Amino acid sequence: MKKMEADVIVVAAGPAGLAAAITAGENDLKAIVFEKANTTGGAANMGMGPLGIGTKIQKRGFYEITKEKAYDIHMKYTHYRVDADLVQTYFEKSADTIEWLEDMGVEFAGSFKYFAESEATWHIVKPENGIIGPRAAGPMVKIMTEKVRELGGEIYLETPVHDLIMEDGKAVGVLATDKNGEEIEARAKAVVVATGGFGTNAEMIKEEFGLDLWQNFFPFMVPGTAGEGLKMMWKAGAQKFGANIEMIYQLKDNMNYFLLDAVLRQPNLLINQNGDRFMNEDQMGNTTFTGNAINLQPGKYAYCIMDDAILKYYKKNGPDIFDIVHPEEAFMAVEPEFERAVADGYDGYIEADTVEELAEKLGIDPEKLQETIDDYNDMCDENFDSQFNKNPKFMHPITGKGKYRVGKFYIAAYGTIGGVRTNKFGEVMDCNDMPIPGLYSAGSDCNTIYGDSYNFTLPGNTMGFAINSGRMAGEAIADYIDSL
């Protein structure tokens, strides 16, 4: 067995783990990072950027949000069912963290809203290809990885950790296996677990949430998020606490049919498998609200119906709902994607020439579907939604002109969050709400700040929490080691 020693061991090299390792290096502590994948970055490789509050970037863009306002928004959104001290510490640190990243060489394209009603807290990394969208944060991952090494940290890829070493109730190291199969015993004064949750572990998702992965739940496929870190911490005595998902909605195989998803998620007639409307579609820009509503429907999916007349309207006037992720250009380029989806037999998209044909394809009684469409069109004619009070400017009648075009939207998530409880120092708490000495966590494994719903009104939150909690843990570890 290979023996290693360091001041700090970091389990996983996502944004939280990298931030913790950098912070350790800044405090003259040697860090060893073990990552089971063949690259660093984790979920950040698919992400776009972190939250920041009160930053210079926001001020330069003539947009300001104070820490006090953000805190008030967040705590009311979560009904105070979260650790207020943890939230306040994270928000207080977030602007400094944006500058900290800039000092490393990270460039930001600006601060953005996700949808109209949200705040411009999303600091999207300037993408290498110049196109803002998924994976924009890749350059940040590279810079953070280089910074770890520059400060003397060691990163071991394809080296999964499979257990914590606990002695006298303290975390003092880890057991790992390198890519050649050699066992490693690595000792340290403190351990940070930042493994990103269990978003790809079907068994844990079923056990915790009652959802069936790739059947009625279609999250982003973040490789390696299998829950090993949480299991290790639970075994070490950590309190099992606050596991949840960042509920959103999307077409299945979303990234392969990205333009379809962008076009079909507009606030048109949204129905469940029974053929009933179930929410005010003008809220569809908030993917969390919509995901929550879809989660209550039969089968945990919904159909959003439009036609070519509406598509023509969007091409001329722009979409009803703009967001930073789904480009307006999608509406001009979607016809070949309709054809590809049909040719591929993709069941996330349905098209039909008549209501009868559509009803048959959806498995809904044709009379019920026709009744729902007629009722909706009557409200469009009256310019008043008597059922859900939808914004009249989004009321477009469904006539089937050209074709009926339907997206089948499932509940989804960026991943899981929570599972262990930490305080503002990143210390992992036991079942008596007392810190386990030497054991820290950061990122999604311990992200319990959303209550029951991801706060999309302050976008960039999960990556923001990851990086900031990594820094918070790293700073606390320096104090902890100094006190030994």
Whether residues 238 and 262 fall in one domain: no
Q: Say how many C-beta atoms besides its own lie within 10 A of residue 40's C-beta.
A: 24
Could you report the per-residue pLDDT of 5-58, keeping only the tens digit for each? 999 999 999 999 999 999 999 999 999 999 999 999 999 999 999 999 999 999
Q: Is residue 64 predicted with pLDDT exceeding 90?
A: no
Whether residues 267 and 219 fall in one domain: no
Structural tokens at position 306: 């439009």
**pLDDT band, very low/low/confident/very high, at 129 (cuts 50, 70, 90):** confident
Q: Is residue 99 predicted with pLDDT exceeding 90?
A: yes
Whether residues 33 and 9 fall in one domain: yes
Q: Is residue 131 predicted with pLDDT exceeding 90?
A: no
Could you report the per-residue pLDDT of 309-347, keeping only the tens digit for each? 999 999 999 999 998 888 889 999 999 999 999 999 999
Instruction: Name the CA dihedral angle for 442, 445, 448, 449, rounded to a multiple of 10 degrees.
Output: 50
Whether residues 428 and 402 fall in one domain: no
Q: Is residue 134 predicted with pLDDT exceeding 90?
A: no
Give pLDDT, residue 373: 98
What CATH number does residue 289 fall under?
Answer: 3.90.700.10
Whether residues 31 and 107 fall in one domain: yes
Give pLDDT, residue 348: 97
Whether residues 443 and 305 fall in one domain: no
Whether residues 13 and 149 fall in one domain: yes
Give pLDDT, residue 133: 85
Mean pLDDT of 236-255: 96
Give pLDDT, residue 354: 98
Give pLDDT, residue 250: 96
Backbone φ, ψ for residue 467 (5° rounding):
-70, -45
* Percent of the chain's residues with pLDDT above 90: 94
What CATH number does residue 127 fall under?
Answer: 3.50.50.60
Q: Is residue 186 predicted with pLDDT exceeding 90?
A: yes
Residue 284 to residues 100, 179, 294, 319, 322: CA-CA distances in angstroms? 35, 45, 11, 12, 11
Name the residue range of residue 310's domain: 247-411
Whether residues 140 and 258 fall in one domain: no
Give pLDDT, residue 54: 97
Mean pLDDT of 354-370: 98
Count of domains forming the chain: 2
Give pLDDT, residue 116: 87
Give pLDDT, residue 221: 82
Of the residues 411, 438, 459, which one is the last residue of a structural domain?
411
Give pLDDT, residue 183: 98
**pLDDT band, very low/low/confident/very high, at 371 (cuts 50, 70, 90):** very high
As a whole number, the mean pLDDT across the chain is: 96
Q: Compute the distance between CA of residue 163 and CA of residue 134 in angstroms, rounded to an integer.
A: 33
DSSP string covering 260-290, please?
HHHHHTSSSEEE-TTS-B-S-GGGTTSHHHH
Whether residues 265 and 218 fall in one domain: no
Whether residues 436 and 461 fall in one domain: yes
- The burial of 431, by beta-carbon neighbours within 10 Å (0-12 exposed, 13-18 middle, 19 or more buried), is given as exposed
Whether residues 380 and 427 fall in one domain: no
> What SS3 class is residue 471?
helix
Beta bridge partner(s), residue 2: 184
Of the residues 390, 411, 432, which one is the last residue of a structural domain?
411
Of the residues 356, 391, 411, which one is the last residue of a structural domain?
411
Asked if 410 and 212 count as a contact pair (C-beta separation under 8 A), the reply is no
Could you report the per-residue pLDDT of 76-85, keeping only the tens digit for each? 999 999 999 9
Length reported for the chain: 484
Mean pLDDT of 199-215: 96
Mean pLDDT of 193-214: 97
**pLDDT band, very low/low/confident/very high, at 220 (cuts 50, 70, 90):** confident
Whether residues 26 and 8 fall in one domain: yes
Give pLDDT, residue 1: 93
